[in-house]
Amino acid sequence: MNSLNTRLMLTLGMSWLGFLVTGLAINQVFAPAAIAILIDRSYCPPAQWQQVSQQYDALYQQHQRQDIQIQAVVLFSSLANDLRPSPPAPAEIQGLATYGQPNPQQQQQLEADYPKHKVLSCSP
Amino acid sequence: MKSHFKFNVGFAIGLCLSLLVACAGSVSVSPTAPQTATTAAPVNTIEQSDRILREQLLPQIAVQDALVPDYVADKVVVTALEDPLPQLDDYPLYGAQPSADAKTVYLEIFSSAEKANAERRDERWLIDVAEAFNQQQQTVKSGAVIQVGIRNIPSGLGAQLIAAAAAKPAGYTPSNELWLQILKQRGTPFTPVNAALVPNSTGFVVESQAYQALAASGEVTFDRLLDAILAGQLTLGYPNPYSSSSALNLLYTIFWQAAGHNKDGKPLTAADLQSPQIGSMFTAFQNQVLVTTQTTLDLKDIFLRDQQKLQAFPLDYQSYATLKQTPGFEQTGYVPFGVPHSSPLVSFKWNTPAQQEALAKFAAFATAAPMQQAAKTLGFETTPYLSAKKFPPVPTGTVLESAQSFWKQRKDGDRTVYMMLVIDTSGSMDGDRLDVVKKALRLASGAINAGNQVGLVTFGDAPVRRMKLAPFNQLEQQRLLVAIDDLKADGSTAMYDGLMVGLADLLEKQKADPNGRFSLMLLSDGEVTKGLRFAQVQEVLSGSGVRIYPIAYGEVNQQELQAIATLREGSVYDGNPETVQRLLKDLFQTNL
């Protein structure tokens, strides 16, 4: 009786462990893509900035649905970078003031720092 | 016995009733109590201010209207008035005084204030140098003794006087080279004597918490500070870039950065100023500007009073070195920017050969080790910023003047400025006093940007509304000129009645345009003798959201005017018939 119980417990335990390992494996294999969003906030005419903010909105909604994982949002300009560890709300991006010249060198540096990235910019 | 008891009880009851009635009566004995009580309570919102103003204060004021009709205004011919030059005598001369002695070579040098202010120990370096030099009795080749006088005059005003040929000093040492470029552009040639009399730079003084927040993620550079300002994280103030070296340097540096020349190292051009890249950065920057003042001193006062509202302002490093030791400034940060403020010295073509020789000898004396050591103790140091030599290139005078014009036209961004002028026309203003103010107002009216709104209220025995707030255009300028001409001095001083009428008109506009900038300029020459008093209006002023610029034009209650100014990050301006023209021009230039 005792040996039956032991085997039952072992089988049950192994089954749960199997479930767990499978779950983790599925989670790893089918995990949402983690990307950084690089937003160029150099001067952008309002109509074009509207398009940029709509692109961000779409990505933000995907992040909310866990289709993608936004690991960081970086706002960059010719002056400095502003790193946001958690994605700002789309309304904030829509209301951002854009100013100054584009900074291609800074953009290249950020693209190198974040290999998986998406650049949002209205510069050609 | 029984009747005696009844008498005692009746007496006691009667006594109690008498006391009760007496106490109840005393509560409403003062007829002024309700007025004071209504305004003594804290007023926190613009709506509350407006309600109290209309329900409780305006009913006590008998305002008259004397508005100028269109057909009268339309007949006025507007002629551009010439900008009056500063009066040289308003700027003190230290060291040796002018001499007609043939055995003396006299040099008068125009110097910026940070090194020629005899009133402050840390700002009188060049005066001390001149006095030490004069004592040495150095001579030129001819044997004549050199004597030097230092005139303390702001760099911009010095350049203005020299360019207009209204003054011919032997030497000129502004804070920075930018003024020399403006001088050159205006057709006044000069010869460099020394590129840098003392090491110095300018930068932003930044409130402690804001500085620490930036420092938490790395070195606080001007780029990062500017980025934080543009992102709306800091508020700032700066002086008038037409007269302040730090402000002109700041303006140029921002435009240079916005044009992307911090990457390619090229100087700013006039064409750059037309680009949307510069316009967009300047608009975002100006949105964070709390106040534009006439002098840096005003900014220091405001910063000391409320560092949470005004978090950054520009100041020379040497002044900051002293300031950091005073209470309230110990924890502040400093972020240098722009071209150096190293006090170049130049001479002019009207100098005699002996004066040229004498200037060279004076420059050599000033830059020798003992004088430089003395300068170092006053904060004139070669800082890491100066050592790094990563400065913007010096632009042409044309570009700098274009930058000043750009600032004047675009400083308000998309926001409309509403300013009510409240002017004292009481009997004590009669004669020259009012005539000078009228002349100053006529002149200053030329500095109002189209689209901004200006109104005029005067007060004597009672307030008179002379011009309603309306978008400034040619007709409104004509209307203002007629209204100014009509001003006559008479009666007592109902200052707060006038102030409340002006404020009510501004708050009415505020309802329609909450995003506007609202200010009121109050000019008074005497004590309040009629109408409302300060205690009755204090809370309404405080909650109104309107910035007030009081001008003390004579014997006024300075404490009350200071209290009014302090309510909204302002300062009291001292005016008199000699200075009021320049003061009003400055106020209109920076605020309208």
pLDDT score of B331 more than 70: yes
CB contact under 8 A, B260 and A97: no
Residue with tokens 């552009």: B185
Asked which of A23-27, A68-72, B349-353, B416-420 is least confident by mean pLDDT, the reply is A23-27
CB contact under 8 A, A100 and B227: no
Query: What is residue B238's DSSP assignment?
Result: E
pLDDT score of B471 more than 90: no
End-to-end CA distance of chain B: 89
Question: Looking at residue B451, what is its pLDDT?
Answer: 81
Q: What percent of chain B has pLDDT over 90?
A: 42
CA distance to B34, B171, B377, B385, B527, per residue, from B381 (Å): 60, 24, 8, 10, 47
CB contact under 8 A, A82 and B224: no
Question: Looking at residue B140, what is its pLDDT?
Answer: 94
Two tokens at B500?
A: 């409340």
CA distance to A122, B285, B341, per residue, from A73 (Å): 17, 23, 39
- HSE toward the beta carbon, residue B286, CA cutoff 13 A: 23
Q: What is the DSSP string of B250-279?
A: HHHHHHHHHTTHHHH-PPP-TGGGGSHHHH
Q: What percent of chain A has pLDDT over 70?
A: 92
Do B96-200+342-380 and B202-337+397-410 show the same overall fold? Answer: yes
B525: CB partners within 8 A, 6+ apart: B424, B426, B428, B429, B433, B553, B554, B555, B556
Q: Which of B169, B91, B95, B83 minimizes the C-alpha distance to B439?
A: B83
More confident residue, B416 or B344: B344
- What is the rounded average pLDDT of the residues B336-349? 96
- Which residue does chain B place closest to A106, by CA atoms? B263
The span from the CA of B194 to the CA of B247, in Å, is 24
CB contact under 8 A, A97 and B223: no
CATH topology of domain B96-200+342-380: D-Maltodextrin-Binding Protein; domain 2 (3.40.190)
- Domain residue spans in chain A? 1-31, 33-120
Q: Residue A30 — pLDDT band, cuts 50, 70, 90?
A: low
The span from the CA of B553 to the CA of B576, in Å, is 5
Which range of B2-16, B354-368, B405-419 scores highest in mean pLDDT? It is B354-368
Architecture of the domain made up of B202-337+397-410: 3-Layer(aba) Sandwich (3.40)
Query: What is residue B54's DSSP assignment?
Result: I
Two tokens at B58?
A: 């305006």
Chain centre distance of CA A104 = 22
CATH topology of domain B39-81+413-591: Rossmann fold (3.40.50)
Under 8 Å between Cβ of A118 and A59: yes
Q: Residue A124 — pLDDT band, cuts 50, 70, 90?
A: low
More confident residue, B582 or A7: A7
Two tokens at B533?
A: 């008093």
Under 8 Å between Cβ of B268 and B364: no
User: Is the CB of B265 inside 8 Å of chain A's CB atoms?
Assistant: no
Q: Residue A57 — pLDDT band, cuts 50, 70, 90?
A: very high
Question: Looking at residue B29, what is its pLDDT?
Answer: 33
More confident residue, B243 or B188: B188
pLDDT tens-digit map of B96-123: 999 888 899 999 999 999 999 999 888 9
Q: Residue B413 — pLDDT band, cuts 50, 70, 90?
A: confident
User: Is the CB of B262 inside 8 Å of chain A's CB atoms?
Assistant: yes
pLDDT score of B7 more than 60: no
Q: Which of B464, B505, B468 minimizes the C-alpha distance to B65?
A: B464
The span from the CA of B51 to the CA of B349, in Å, is 65
Q: What percent of chain B has pLDDT over 70?
A: 90
Question: Looking at residue B30, what is its pLDDT?
Answer: 34
CB contact under 8 A, A100 and B257: yes
Q: A1 by DSSP, 3-state: which?
A: coil
Under 8 Å between Cβ of B409 and B451: no
Return the ∠ at Cα B336 (arms to B268 and B589), rounded to 5°: 60
More confident residue, B25 or B380: B380
User: Is the CB of A98 inside 8 Å of chain B's CB atoms?
Assistant: yes
Which range of A113-122, B285-294, B547-556 scores highest in mean pLDDT? It is A113-122
Under 8 Å between Cβ of B587 and B294: yes
Two tokens at B563?
A: 């209290």
Q: What is the DSSP string of B295-350?
A: SHHHHHHHHHH-TTT--EEEEEHHHHHHHTTSTT-TT-EEEEESS-----EEEETT
Question: Looking at residue B245, what is its pLDDT?
Answer: 92
Number of helices and strands (H, E) in chain A? 4, 4
pLDDT score of B392 more than 70: yes
B359: CB partners within 8 A, 6+ apart: B107, B170, B171, B193, B345, B347, B351
- Domain residue spans in chain B? 39-81+413-591, 96-200+342-380, 202-337+397-410
CA distance to B354, B451, B464, B483, B540, per residue, from B70 (Å): 63, 18, 18, 12, 33
State phi, psi for B457 to the nearest 5 degrees: -125, 135
pLDDT tens-digit map of B488-520: 888 888 889 999 999 999 999 888 888 888 989
pLDDT tens-digit map of B152-173: 998 988 999 999 999 999 999 9
Q: Residue B334 — pLDDT band, cuts 50, 70, 90?
A: very high
pLDDT tens-digit map of B15-67: 555 544 444 433 333 333 334 434 455 677 888 888 888 888 888 888 888 88
Count Cβ–Cβ pairs < 8 Å, chain A vs chain B: 53
Q: What is the average pLDDT score of chain B?
A: 85
Under 8 Å between Cβ of B205 and B334: yes
Q: Which of B539, B569, B565 minimizes the C-alpha distance to B42?
A: B539
Picking from A77, A101, A105, the nearest residue to B227 by CB comes out as: A77
Under 8 Å between Cβ of A68 and A62: yes
Question: Looking at residue B537, what is its pLDDT?
Answer: 87
CB contact under 8 A, A80 and B227: yes
Question: Looking at residue B447, what is its pLDDT?
Answer: 76
Under 8 Å between Cβ of B587 and B549: yes
Asked which of B9-13, B308-312, B399-403, B588-592 is least confident by mean pLDDT, the reply is B9-13
Buried b (16+ CB within 10 A) or exposed e, B340-356: bbbbbbbbbeebeebbb
pLDDT score of B277 more than 80: yes
Question: Looking at residue B188, what is its pLDDT?
Answer: 93
Q: What is the average pLDDT score of chain A?
A: 86
Question: Looking at residue B203, what is its pLDDT?
Answer: 96
- Which residue does chain A place closest to B256, by CA atoms? A100
User: Is the CB of A77 inside 8 Å of chain B's CB atoms?
Assistant: yes
Question: Looking at residue B578, what is its pLDDT?
Answer: 62
The span from the CA of B334 to the CA of B553, in Å, is 36
Q: Which of B365, B437, B404 minimizes the C-alpha distance to B251?
A: B404
Residue with tokens 């004396």: B365
Question: Looking at residue B325, what is its pLDDT?
Answer: 86
Under 8 Å between Cβ of B581 and B84: yes
Q: Residue B1 — pLDDT band, cuts 50, 70, 90?
A: very low
User: Is the CB of B367 inside 8 Å of chain A's CB atoms?
Assistant: no
Two tokens at B195?
A: 């590129």
